[in-house]
A and B are shown apart, each in its own frame.
Chain A
Amino acid sequence: NAGVTQTPKFHILKIGQSMTLQCTQDMNHNYMYWYRQDPGMGLKLIYYSVGAGITDKGEVPNGYNVSRSTTEDFPLRLELAAPSQTSVYFCASSQPGLTNTGELFFGEGSRLTVL
């Protein structure tokens, strides 16, 4: 199993451009998350999904959009990129339940710079 795969790993974007960060998991997890982490800071939740077709806002959703058409994929779309969106983005998945720990499995991160 590859776990959680994020692409791209690095990207430079110009102000006003748009792009999509891809996230795929092969563990058949229902729950998926997008976080951003600024230097020296903790993770801030952008959006999350508890299953295909269901998405909810996190702590910092402005400037982002998500979709969840399949269990495996949870892309994050940045519209009209701004320098404040320069960050490391982490995707995670989990499968909570009585027999599971509910732990989050993280991807390796996507480092985005907006110039």
Chain B
Amino acid sequence: SQKIEQNSEALNIQEGKTATLTCNYTNYSPAYLQWYRQDPGRGPVFLLLIRENEKEKRKERLKVTFDTTLKQSLFHITASQPADSATYLCALGDDKIIFGKGTRLHILP
């Protein structure tokens, strides 16, 4: 069955550094992969989508890579700020979209 794994449950990063989150998947060949941010008590909010024919995508301080050979996506937040502290979820699928468990990111001032 399809499986998504996000590298760690929690990640602590010093303010100003780059945070890198990993999403690995198996038994699937998605046409695109998405990243979401979720704050406590709220629904997820869309951040970026990357298609299978795109190697990299950027939006402000965010960068996503997608390696369909390794079946892996990396999500980077550069110049991290305490306000970036949240849970980040990766999601994949075309019609049937499934999510990883998420990584809780803490940016330490």
- A42-B89, A101-B49 known; A106 and B99 CB under 8 Å? no
Whether a CB of chain B sits under 8 angstroms from the CB of A33 is yes
- A31-B95, A43-B89, A50-B95 known; A106 and B101 CB under 8 Å? no
Chain B interface residues toward A at CB < 8 A: 6, 32, 34, 36, 42-46, 49, 89, 91, 94-102
Instruction: List the 3 shortest-distance A-B pairs measured between CB atoms, nearest first.
Output: A106-B43, A103-B46, A42-B101
Assess the B100–A103 pair: CB atoms within 8 A. no
Contact of A103 among B49, B94, B96, B99 (CB under 8 A): B49
Residues of A within 8 A of B100 (CB): 42
Contact of B44 among A43, A48, A94 (CB under 8 A): A43
- A42-B89, A43-B89 known; A104 and B44 CB under 8 Å? yes
Q: How far is the CA of A96 from the CA of B97 in the complex (A)?
A: 12
Chain A interface residues toward B at CB < 8 A: 31, 33, 35, 41-45, 48, 50, 56, 58-59, 90, 92, 94, 96, 101-109
- The smallest C-beta distance from B12 to any residue of chain A, in angstroms, reads 17
- 14 A-B residue pairs with Cβ-Cβ distance under 8 Å, sorted by A, are A42-B89, A42-B99, A42-B101, A45-B99, A90-B43, A101-B46, A102-B32, A102-B49, A103-B46, A104-B34, A106-B43, A107-B43, A108-B42, A108-B43
